[in-house]
Amino acid sequence: MKGKTLRGSISFVSTSLVLLLSGCSNLDILNPKGSVGLAERELIATSTWAMLIVVIPVITLTLFFAWRYRASNKNADYQQNADYQPGWVHSTGIEIAIWTIPTLIILFLAVLTWKTTHELDPYKPLESRVKPINVEVVALDWKWLFIYPDLGIASVNQLAIPVGTPVNFTITSDTVMNSFFISQLGGQIYAMAGMQTRLHLIADEPGNYAGTSANFSGKGFSDMKFRTLATSPEEFNAWVAKVRASSDNLSMDRYHTVSAPSEKDPVRYFSSVDPKLFYNIIARYNNGNVIDNMKDANCAPQGKG
């Protein structure tokens, strides 16, 4: 009878977990397509398993004690079962176990976190023999603007990158604070007005990856999304040629129209871009001074998210 009850409890818990996870069929963060995302997934998995060393026994024993000493179990009555009333008031062995094991786990997690935090520093360029590409990102209401300063082009709500090529992102906002996030490539960093943050990512596999803002920014937040096209170098060059064929250009005057608040914006291409646009956006929140010549990103106000 006891075995049937225990098996029934395990079956109930398993069924509940399946139902709870049934709505999580698209866990992009656990399906990385880049080295940064893969390292982050491994960190999450390692930390979770380390914590389960304590969590599983505690939960298991809690459920066991609740079942073992339930009111209907006469065999566990304190007057009939001496095991219910232990004859000791202190156990050195138990004290050592309940303090040593959690302490070792915390120490392990501390070392792991310190090590991976430095290895996955978003400001740290990725090591590669392939020349990286530079992308300037501007968070707007409620869309994303991507500027390719070396190519002289820009796009709205679509980011294209070649597979196997490091991407150096420089990120700011021309509105409230947002959070730039491509979950399958890894990393998440804030976009803040008057400041620039950095992020370095790489796509190891071709694909069409979701990008979003992970920070609430107003009524259009739910549709502030973009697609990241990770393609072969040849396909990326074809995409660049398509953008350059656009009749639209992104001058400062045109930018004021593009940056106006709007929702569910379609993908747009700009065949040319004002080379000072990104830094002039930052300068708007720094005493209104227009930055005339800031080719070196280190000259601009900076801040980590």
Q: Which of 272, 23, 268 lies closest to 145 in space, CA to CA?
A: 268
What pLDDT was estimated at residue 292?
42
The share of the chain scoring above pLDDT 70, in percent, equals 81
DSSP string computed for 92-108:
HHHHHHHHHHHHHHHHH
Domain ranges in the chain are 27-119, 133-299
Question: Which residue shows structure tokens 């709500």?
Answer: 157
Q: Reduce the secondary structure of 76-90 to three states and give it as a string.
A: HCCCCCHHHCCCCCC
Is the CB of residue 175 less than 8 Å from the CB of residue 213? no
DSSP string computed for 41-64:
HHHHHHHHHHHHHHHHHHHHHHHH
Is the CB of residue 103 less than 8 Å from the CB of residue 97? no
**Whole-Å CA distances, 227 to 183, 199, 231:** 11, 17, 12
pLDDT at 130 over 70: yes
- Amino acid identity of 121? D
Question: Is the overall model pTM greater than 0.85, yes or no?
Answer: no
Instruction: Please tell me the CATH code under which domain 133-299 is placed.
Output: 2.60.40.420
CA 189 to chain centre: 8
Q: Which of 6-10, 116-120, 148-152 shows the highest mean pLDDT?
A: 148-152
What is the dihedral angle through the alpha carbons of 166, 31, 26, 23, rounded to the nearest 10 degrees? -140
- Per-residue pLDDT, averaged over 95-112, amounts to 88
Reported as a single tens digit per residue, the pLDDT across 227-254 is 999 999 999 999 999 999 999 999 989 9
**Contacts of residue 239, Cβ cutoff 8 Å, sequence gap at least 6:** 160, 229, 231
Instruction: Please tell me the CATH code under which domain 27-119 is placed.
Output: 1.10.287.90
**Contacts of residue 63, Cβ cutoff 8 Å, sequence gap at least 6:** 9
pLDDT at 302 over 60: no
Give the chain's mean pLDDT: 82
